[in-house]
Amino acid sequence: MNVIKKVALVDLLKGMSITLKTMFKPTVTVHYPFEKVPPRERFRGIHALKLNPDGSYRCEACYLCAEMCPSNVIDMEMTEGKDGKKELVDFTVDLTRCLFCGLCVEACPRDAIVMTDIYEFSQYSVDKLILHKEDLMELGRYYQEWERKRR
Amino acid sequence: MTENLLSMAFIVGLMLVAVPPITYLERKVLGHMQQRPGPMVVGFHGILQPLADAIKLIFKEDIIPKGADRLLFMFAPSFSVFAALLAASVVPIGFIQAVPMKSALLFVMAMSAISIYALILAGYSSNDKYSFLAGMRAAAQVLGYELPLGFAIMAAVILYGSFDFNEIVKWQSQHGWGILYQPIAFLLFLFVMAAEVGRPPFDLPEGESELVGGFHTEYSGMRFAAFFFGEYINIIVLSLVVSLLFLGGWSGPLADKYPVLGVLYHLGKAAFFIFLTFWLRATFPRYRFDQMLSIMWKILLPISILNLFVAAAEALLVG
């Protein structure tokens, strides 16, 4: 039986029939730069800082996210404001180290730091990958727009 | 004389012009066999991809590695094209034959065997251990496949009683296609053809998964492209030869009245075998080196020798 199989090249012909059949199947390629797969709803992209409706920061510089972060991505600066409250001076997210685990989002008691669905953030220089307060707030506006649309 | 020159120009032109579309078709077929579309960006469905490749290759820096044997290094790629075109020159396409020759089949086999020297020389002169290994593999491969190939062709020659392609086609138009008489020689030839042109599953000299790029590791630019010209011209020539030997060449309905139709028949038959090389490449993984040699020597060689007796018997019976 085995000899007959070998002589008649059964296995080889089987393989060839599979490739021939596959040739007439539709392709599964997504032509990436021209067409994109929308990310899933809970996709963890780059960070953003949400704002209150009156435009003030939601973040109150409690350092919980920085504490939680396993790769030391988040750093922030704060001062005492006029009314004695903490006030955020700068908030940096170093994307070169971030592993997008989302622990900072979970740690935040005020739901201030969130993750957007942006995954295309390549830059030509490393220092552009360190996001500051302004960038994060810009992203926060984008996130809140997206959140509103989803509702 | 002018006829010969025109045929020569036609065949050389056809071989050189056909190579870029064939590389495109190969990538397309290979892609679709893996459920992906292949080149898609340059032009409609990537139709201009070969042109883009050519432009890229022309503008690439031409590098000759330190310690390489400069003369042989520069000679090897052109030798690959040269040997392939020499083989093409004696192969008739329909009524078009550049060099009419009584022993054309023998000449084709000699030239396509010589084209493996391009790989050996490239491997030897590159001053690179991977290229060197590839050259050794090419040398061993030629020892492996030449015997079964020679015997498979001899079986056909015994049957037709001639080395001349015109005689072979005439015999087949009288008695029927050669594949009916010699299916074993046909299969052997197909098998060995893949080894002869260094295509998967016998692309050991190239072996990109274990030898970087094999013999063309150190080549860049148009020298790199020349190897592929040689390889693809060899594929075309051997496809033409298979269809001449076993599928009746240019014979077919109405081919006697309209010779142009014969050319189309012949090219169509050859196109199937060119497609077959793509198909084999998409289907089979590369044989290991010792597997390749044991297939060639322990299986194909005895079969091909026994097949000689079958051919002799058939030659006596059919006459």
Give the Cβ contact number of residue A108 at 10 Å: 20
The dihedral through the CA atoms of B26, B235, B64, B132 has a sign that is positive
Which CATH number fits the domain that encloses residue A96?
A: 3.30.70.3270
Q: Out of B29, B40, B283, name the one closest to residue A16 (CB).
A: B283
Cβ-defined contact of A12 to B31 (cutoff 8 Å): no
ipTM of model: 0.73
What pLDDT is stored for residue B319 in this prediction?
A: 64
Whether residue B2 lies within 8 A of chain A, CB to CB, comes out as no
Whether residue A22 lies within 8 A of chain B, CB to CB, comes out as yes
Ranges under pLDDT 50 in chain A: none
What pLDDT is stored for residue B8 in this prediction?
A: 84
Q: State the residue for tokens 């063309």.
A: B216
Residue B108 identity (one-letter amino acid): V
**Closest Cα of chain A to B29: distance in Å?**
7
List C-alpha distances in Å: B48 to B19, B24, B39, B121, B229. Answer: 13, 9, 9, 33, 18
Domain enclosing residue A117, as ranges: 47-150
Q: Out of A9, A20, A28, name the one closest to residue B35 (CB).
A: A28
Whether residue B283 lies within 8 A of chain A, CB to CB, comes out as yes
Whether residue B29 lies within 8 A of chain A, CB to CB, comes out as yes
What pLDDT is stored for residue B7 in this prediction?
A: 83
Q: Where are the alpha helices (DSSP H) in chain B?
A: 2-33, 49-59, 70-90, 104-114, 116-125, 129-160, 165-175, 178-181, 183-196, 221-246, 259-283, 289-294, 301-318
Give dist(CA B7, CA B98) in Å, integer.
5
Give dist(CA B214, CA B122) in Å, integer.
10
The residue of chain A nearest to residue B184, with distances taken between CA atoms, is: A7
Cβ-defined contact of B282 to A12 (cutoff 8 Å): no
Give dist(CA B34, CA A26) in Å, integer.
10
What pLDDT is stored for residue A78 in this prediction?
A: 85
The residue of chain A nearest to residue B41, with distances taken between CA atoms, is: A31
pLDDT averaged per 10 residues in sequence order, chain B, 319 residues = 81 86 90 88 86 89 84 87 87 79 86 85 85 86 86 87 84 81 85 82 80 81 86 89 85 75 85 90 85 85 88 82
* Angle in degrees, 0-180, between the axes of helices B116-125 and B129-160, rounded to the nearest 10: 170
Buried b (16+ CB within 10 A) or exposed e, B137-147: bbbbbbebbbb
Cβ-defined contact of A27 to B31 (cutoff 8 Å): yes
Is the residue at A5 inside a domain? no
Question: Which residues of B fall within a CB distance of 8 Å from A31?
Answer: 40
β-strand A74-80 against A47-49: which pairing, if any? unpaired
Give the pair of three-digit tokens for residue A110. 């005020």
Whether residue B95 lies within 8 A of chain A, CB to CB, comes out as no
- Grouping H, G, I as helix, E, B as strand and the rest as coil, residue B213 is coil
Cβ-defined contact of B282 to A19 (cutoff 8 Å): yes
What pLDDT is stored for residue A1 in this prediction?
A: 67
Whether residue A27 lies within 8 A of chain B, CB to CB, comes out as yes
What pLDDT is stored for residue A13 in this prediction?
A: 86
What predicted TM-score, i.e. pTM, was given to this entire model?
0.82
Give dist(CA A122, CA A128) in Å, integer.
9
